[in-house]
Amino acid sequence: MHKPLADKIRPSELEDVVGQEHILGKNKILNRIIESGCISNMIFYGPPGTGKTTVANIIARKTSKRFYRLNATNSSLKDIQDIVDELDTFMGREGVLLYLDEIQNFNKKQQQSLLEFIEDGRITLIASTTENPYHYIFKAILSRSTIFEFKVLNDENIINALKRAVEKSKSFYPGMQVDVDEDALNYFAASSNGDLRKAINGLEVALYSTNPNSDKVIHITKTIAEESTQSKILNYDLMGDSHYDILSAFQKSIRGSDADAAIHYLARLVKAGDLPSICRRLLVIACEDVGLAYPNAITIVKSCVDAANMLGFPEARIPLAQATILLATAPKSNTAYKAIDGALFDLEKVNIGDIPNHLKDSHYAGAKEIGRGIEYKYPHDYKNNYVKQEYLPSNLRGSCYYLPGDNKNEKVASDYWKNIKK
């Protein structure tokens, strides 16, 4: 059976693992734990191809416990039970180290089935996940584990690992030389999006598909690297962290008036083809972050959104970019957002009282007999269409939800009403 190159050359020592210096560097916490040999329950969290499985394998070699590996994608309660059945046998006398890959795919019952054995130490759990553990892992397991975040590898990390892969792969081609151009290595790294496994898979395709020349050299050029690598795949899952992280960065960049960053994150969303999320977020931003500083923004954004939905991708990217740049460069105000949230807060926390009688509906026979609408003053009957009267419930009298923002549009409106009301 063919074994992938990434598995053939997987590091067996910590010093060969690239990246993750924040936890694996000299004197860093995970490094110290592994070197001590006193392994506790751990959860490795991070994108694919960042070293989670490799580090788990290295830990397994440094412990006397019996090692099991399960993938939650295709494992069941029976698989866990089979492991549990060995705990009281000779084979499990030192305890068990269980590496559970993609733990987010286990439901609550499956995760709970491990608790008793984690609690008494008979099973030491190392779980890995590409999703936020605080969203997907049972809280009782979280409370008994240390979470380590594995970060996306940079190009330098990946190039160093690829050079090691090239050296290791030479032993698979006896009597031949392997030569990979520097710009080919750079291309593998750039197209991997921080996923080392993807970069090594590209190198593997290049090696297997390239015949040696007359000098018995397998020479990998940038052109071969481009042919051997699939188009760049972004880390984006409609139900996962990356979806919400990109949308969050998109809105925060617009709110921060950085048009270039906003367009960058829009491009990620466009690349993922996530038209509904883009449209919804743009409409929210127009009201939440631009708001009354530029009230026409929502009208223009709605037109851009309608156009994008009519056009579909790829053309939809153009009106979406127009709306994004408009919002990023527009003056900002969140006064409407703060006003409604303040009012909603009072609904939950304050005894708001009754609507004043003069504001209640009086368009029916008998309304006046019960005091409805009698003292209401019709503003259009007064100068400047304004007359002072109480509109809030008596329990909320004096409450202020809307505070005009420090921008031209709201200042003009505020000054106008100050003049009228005085």
For the stretch 397-404, contacts whose Cβ atoms lie closer than 8 Å and that sit 24 or more positions apart, written own/partner, are 399/346, 401/338, 401/339, 401/340, 401/342, 401/343, 402/335, 402/336, 402/339, 403/335, 403/338, 403/339, 404/292, 404/335
pLDDT along the chain (422 residues), means of 10: 83 90 91 86 92 91 83 84 71 75 87 84 88 87 92 93 91 86 92 89 91 89 87 55 86 96 94 92 97 96 97 95 97 95 91 88 84 89 92 90 93 92 85
48, 54, 57, 58 alpha-carbon torsion, rounded to 10°: -150
Is-above-0.75 flag for pTM?
Answer: no
Total count of residues recorded for the chain: 422
What pLDDT shows up at residue 273? 87
What pLDDT shows up at residue 136? 85
Which residues have CB under 8 Å from 96's CB, separation 6+?
65, 66, 67, 68, 83, 86, 87, 117, 122, 123, 124
User: Distance (Å, rounded) from C-alpha 212 to C-alpha 193?
Assistant: 29
User: Distance (Å, rounded) from C-alpha 304 to C-alpha 225?
Assistant: 39
Which residues have CB under 8 Å from 337's CB, separation 6+?
287, 288, 289, 291
User: What residues does 149 pair with on adjacent strands?
Assistant: 45
* Domain annotation for the chain: domains and CATH numbers: 20-149 (3.40.50.300), 155-228 (1.10.8.60), 241-329 (1.20.272.10), 342-421 (1.10.3710.10)
What pLDDT shows up at residue 228? 87
Nearest one of 103, 19, 80, 17 to 54, comparing CA atoms = 17
User: Distance (Å, rounded) from C-alpha 170 to C-alpha 182?
Assistant: 17
User: Distance (Å, rounded) from C-alpha 48 to C-alpha 283?
Assistant: 33
| Strand pairing class (42-45; 217-220) | unpaired
Cα torsion angle, 130, 132, 133, 137, sign: negative
Helix, strand or coil, per DSSP, at residue 101: strand
User: Distance (Å, rounded) from C-alpha 28 to C-alpha 22?
Assistant: 7
User: Distance (Å, rounded) from C-alpha 303 to C-alpha 325?
Assistant: 14
> How many CA atoms, within 13 angstroms, populate the side-chain half-sphere of residue 322?
15
Q: How far is CA 177 from CA 8, 182, 194, 209, 212, in A?
A: 18, 16, 28, 15, 8
Q: How far is CA 128 from CA 4, 63, 174, in A?
A: 21, 18, 37
Number of Cβ atoms within 10 Å of the Cβ of 217: 14
What pLDDT shows up at residue 239? 53
Which residues have CB under 8 Å from 402's CB, separation 6+?
335, 336, 339
